Amino acid sequence: MASLHLPCATTGTTNTSATSRPLFPKQSHFIASPKRTRRLQVSCTNNGHSKKHSSENTETSQGKVDRRNMLLGLSGLYGAANLASAPEAPANPIQAPVLDKCGAATNLNTGKQLDINCCPPVVQNVIDYKLPPVRRLKLRPSAHRVSAEYIFKYNLAIDRMKRLPKEDPRSFMQQANIHCAYCNGAYDQPGQGTLDLQVHNSWLFFPFHRWYLYFYERILGKLINDPTFALPFWNWDNPKGMTIPPMFNDPTAAIFDEKRNQANLPPAVVDLGMTGNKDPLQVVSNNLTIMYAEMIRGNSSVTDFMGKPYREGTPVNPGPGASERGSHTAVHVWVGDPRQPSGEDLGNFYSAGRDPLFYCHHGNCDRMWTLWQYHLPSAKVPDRTITDPDYLNTQFLFYDENAQLVRVTVKDCVSNRAMGYDYERIDLPWLDYRPPPQTATAKVTRAATEAAKAETVFPLNLDKIVRVLVPKTKKGKADEVLVIENITVDTSKFLKFDVFINDEDDNVLELDKAAYAGTYAQVPHRTTTQTATTSIQLKLTELYDDMDVTDDEDVLITLVPRHQGDGITIGGIKIIENPTPTPAPAPAAAPSS
Nearest Cα residue to 535 out of 374, 333, 304 = 304
Average pLDDT over residues 104-131: 88
Beta bridge partners of 320: none
Is residue 502's pLDDT more than 50?
yes
The reply to whether 172 belongs to the active site is: no
The whole-number pLDDT of residue 527 equals 67
The whole-number pLDDT of residue 504 equals 77
Here the CATH number for the domain that contains residue 195 is 1.10.1280.10
Report yes or no on 28 lying in a domain.
no
Q: Do 546 and 539 contact (CB within 8 A), yes or no?
A: no
Look up the domain containing 556 and give its range: 442-577
Query: How far is residue 469's CA from residue 547's CA, in Å, rounded to a whole number?
Result: 16
The whole-number pLDDT of residue 63 equals 40
Q: Which phi-psi region, left, alpha or beta, contains residue 133 (left: φ > 0; alpha: ψ -120 to 50)?
A: beta
Tell me whether strands 460-461 and 568-577 are parallel, antiparallel or unpaired: antiparallel
Q: What is the pLDDT of residues 573-589, one digit of tens each?
A: 999 998 865 444 445 55
Three-class DSSP category at 85: helix
Range with the lowest mean pLDDT among 40-54, 182-196, 200-214?
40-54
332 annotated ligand binder: yes
DSSP conformation class of 154: H
Nearest Cα residue to 496 out of 314, 296, 333, 253 = 333
The whole-number pLDDT of residue 505 equals 77
The reply to whether 525 belongs to the active site is: no
The whole-number pLDDT of residue 317 equals 80
Nearest Cα residue to 358 out of 248, 243, 251 = 248
The whole-number pLDDT of residue 22 equals 30
Is residue 67's pLDDT more than 50?
no
Average pLDDT over residues 233-247: 98
Tell me whether strands 452-453 and 466-471 are parallel, antiparallel or unpaired: parallel
Report yes or no on 533 lying in a domain.
yes
**Segment holding 179, helix H or strand E:** helix 172-183
Report yes or no on 186 lying in a domain.
yes
pLDDT confidence of 379, banded at 50, 70, 90? low
Three-class DSSP category at 413: coil
pLDDT confidence of 187, banded at 50, 70, 90? very high
Q: Which of 377, 400, 432 is the last residue of a domain?
A: 432
Report yes or no on 487 lying in a domain.
yes
Range with the lowest mean pLDDT among 60-64, 167-171, 501-505?
60-64
- Catalytic: which of 29, 209, 525, 563? 209
Average pLDDT over residues 471-484: 88
Q: What is the pLDDT of residues 191-222, one digit of tens each?
A: 898 889 999 999 999 999 999 999 999 999 99
Is residue 424's pLDDT more than 60?
yes
The whole-number pLDDT of residue 284 equals 98
Q: What is the pLDDT of residues 554-578, one digit of tens each?
A: 999 999 999 988 899 999 999 999 8
Is residue 301's pLDDT more than 70?
yes
Report yes or no on 482 lying in a domain.
yes
**What are the residues whose beta carbons fall under 8 Å from the beta carbon of 207, sequence distance 6 or more?**
394, 410, 413, 414
Tell me whether strands 480-490 and 568-577 are parallel, antiparallel or unpaired: antiparallel
The whole-number pLDDT of residue 378 equals 72
| 486 and 427 housed in the same domain | no
Beta bridge partners of 467: 558
| 254 and 278 housed in the same domain | yes
pLDDT confidence of 477, banded at 50, 70, 90? confident
Range with the lowest mean pLDDT among 108-112, 156-160, 329-333, 413-417?
108-112
| 219 and 338 housed in the same domain | yes
Is residue 180's pLDDT more than 70?
yes
Is residue 125's pLDDT more than 90?
yes
Report yes or no on 559 lying in a domain.
yes
| 533 and 406 housed in the same domain | no
Beta bridge partners of 569: 461, 488
Q: Do 252 and 434 contact (CB within 8 A), yes or no?
A: no
Tell me whether strands 138-140 and 421-423 are parallel, antiparallel or unpaired: parallel
pLDDT confidence of 525, banded at 50, 70, 90? low
Query: How far is residue 509's CA from residue 103's CA, in Å, rounded to a whole number?
Result: 43
Average pLDDT over residues 387-413: 97
For 343-398, the DSSP string reads -TTTTSTTTGGGSTHHHHHHHHHHHHHHHHHHTS-TTTS-------HHHHT-EEEE
Handedness of CA 274, 278, 282, 288 (dihedral sign): positive
Question: Alpha carbon of 260 to those of 173, 268, 327, 355, 493: distances in Å?
Answer: 18, 13, 18, 9, 18
| 234 and 311 housed in the same domain | yes
29 annotated ligand binder: no
Average pLDDT over residues 353-360: 98
328 annotated ligand binder: yes
Average confidence score pLDDT of the chain: 83
Stronger pLDDT, 100 or 79, i.e. the higher one: 100
Q: Which of 432, 454, 485 is the last residue of a domain?
A: 432
The whole-number pLDDT of residue 589 equals 56
pLDDT confidence of 110, banded at 50, 70, 90? confident
| 388 and 355 housed in the same domain | yes
Query: How far is residue 472's CA from residue 557's CA, in Å, rounded to a whole number?
Result: 11
Is residue 95's pLDDT more than 50?
yes
- Catalytic: which of 24, 30, 144, 200? 200
Q: Do 302 and 386 contact (CB within 8 A), yes or no?
A: yes
Report yes or no on 457 lying in a domain.
yes
200 annotated ligand binder: yes
Q: Do 525 and 349 contact (CB within 8 A), yes or no?
A: yes
pLDDT confidence of 449, banded at 50, 70, 90? confident
User: How many residues in the chain?
Assistant: 593
pTM value is: 0.82
| 420 and 555 housed in the same domain | no
DSSP conformation class of 327: I
Query: How far is residue 274's CA from residue 258's CA, in Å, rounded to a whole number?
Result: 22
Q: What is the pLDDT of residues 326-342, one digit of tens each?
A: 999 999 999 999 999 88
Three-class DSSP category at 285: helix
| 419 and 528 housed in the same domain | no
Q: What angle do CA 81, 84, 87 make, to 5 degrees?
A: 120
| 454 and 327 housed in the same domain | no
Query: How far is residue 423's CA from residue 231's CA, in Å, rounded to a whole number?
Result: 10
pLDDT confidence of 524, banded at 50, 70, 90? confident
For 184-301, where are the alpha helices, taking DSSP H only?
205-223, 280-292
Q: What is the pLDDT of residues 16-25, one digit of tens each?
A: 333 333 322 3
| 183 and 327 housed in the same domain | yes
Query: How far is residue 11's CA from residue 25's CA, in Å, rounded to a whole number?
Result: 9
Is residue 476's pLDDT more than 90?
no
CA atoms within 13 A of residue 95's CA, in its CB half-sphere: 26
Q: Which of 375, 401, 432 is the last residue of a domain?
A: 432
What is the phi/psi pair of residue 525, to 5°? -150, 160
179 annotated ligand binder: yes
Q: Do 206 and 366 contact (CB within 8 A), yes or no?
A: yes
- Catalytic: which of 229, 349, 396, 500? 349
Report yes or no on 65 lying in a domain.
no
pLDDT confidence of 450, banded at 50, 70, 90? confident
Nearest Cα residue to 199 out of 439, 14, 413, 395 = 395
The reply to whether 332 belongs to the active site is: yes
| 277 and 400 housed in the same domain | yes
Structurally, the chain folds into a number of domains equal to 2
Query: How far is residue 488's CA from residue 572's CA, in Å, rounded to a whole number?
Result: 11
525 annotated ligand binder: no
Here the CATH number for the domain that contains residue 512 is 2.60.120
Query: How far is residue 111's CA from residue 492's CA, in Å, rounded to a whole number?
Result: 7
Is residue 456's pLDDT more than 90?
yes
- Catalytic: which of 29, 144, 328, 563? 328
Long-range contacts of 43-48 (CB under 8 A, 24+ apart): 43/3, 43/4, 43/5, 43/6, 44/5, 44/6, 44/7, 44/8, 45/5, 45/7, 46/5, 46/7, 47/5
- Catalytic: which of 29, 233, 305, 332? 332
Three-class DSSP category at 7: coil
Is residue 74's pLDDT more than 50?
no
Average pLDDT over residues 13-34: 32
The reply to whether 361 belongs to the active site is: no
Question: Alpha carbon of 88 to those of 31, 108, 393, 590: distances in Å?
Answer: 15, 38, 15, 34
The reply to whether 5 belongs to the active site is: no
| 363 and 451 housed in the same domain | no
Nearest Cα residue to 27 out of 94, 133, 122, 101 = 101
Query: How far is residue 97's CA from residue 405's CA, in Å, rounded to a whole number?
Result: 12
